[in-house]
Amino acid sequence: MKNYFISALLLSVAGNVMADEVISGPLIVMESTCIGADCQEGEVMGFETLRVKSESPQILFDDTSNSVSFPKNDWQIGVSDEVAGDQASFFIEDATSQRRVFEISPEGDVALGSMSVVVEGAVSVGSSDASRRVAYVADAEADTDAVNLRTAQSIVSGLDVAPEKAQLDAAISALNDRLTALSDRVTELEK
């Protein structure tokens, strides 16, 4: 009887132990899936196929290749909240170097590139310590388009300032002549 009681006690404890579940074959989920610490039993799913739910949900792409010919960078995408000085954002991060390479705030402010800083109302491609070029920008077509160097140079080369420069040179020369004459008159009056 004593052995029966101990066996029953051990079996009841074993039912409460949580263990990893390993599925060695393909896993197909026909409807929606919720993954994360904040998923609830009976989670009401809308039309989303996958829901990642936690205080700061993140997905890590862990590259386990060990060949020298393949790069071994791990990548992470996630969402951060305004916790511990971090601003709320969606991000893509090079998890190997722990640098965010893309970040967007809820207001639509964007930072592109490693070490870029989110700037309110702007698309940032750097920071005060890490400026960088924006390459392969098409020529501006609309008033609100950014101007590239080629567009700026064509505007400058198209300006014909020679006539205006000649007029300005003549006006400056005339002013110099008048100042010389005025200086001579002041000198005569002082005598």
* pLDDT band, residue 91 (cuts 50/70/90): very high
Q: Which of 14-23, 32-41, 101-110 has the lowest mean pLDDT?
A: 14-23
pLDDT score at 178: 94
pLDDT at 92 over 90: yes
Going by their DSSP bridges, the two strands 89-94 and 75-80 should be labelled as antiparallel
Q: What is the rounded distance in angstroms from the CA atom of residue 64 to the CA atom of residue 73?
A: 9
pLDDT score at 85: 65
Structure tokens at 27: 């896993």
Structure tokens at 164: 């205006």
Q: What is the rounded distance in angstroms from the CA atom of residue 158 to the CA atom of residue 138?
A: 19
Q: What is the rounded distance in angstroms from the CA atom of residue 155 to the CA atom of residue 150?
A: 9
pTM over 0.85: no
* pLDDT band, residue 9 (cuts 50/70/90): very low
pLDDT at 16 over 60: no
What is the amino acid identity at position 105?
Answer: S
Domain ranges of the chain: 35-144
Q: What is the mean pLDDT of residues 122-133?
A: 90
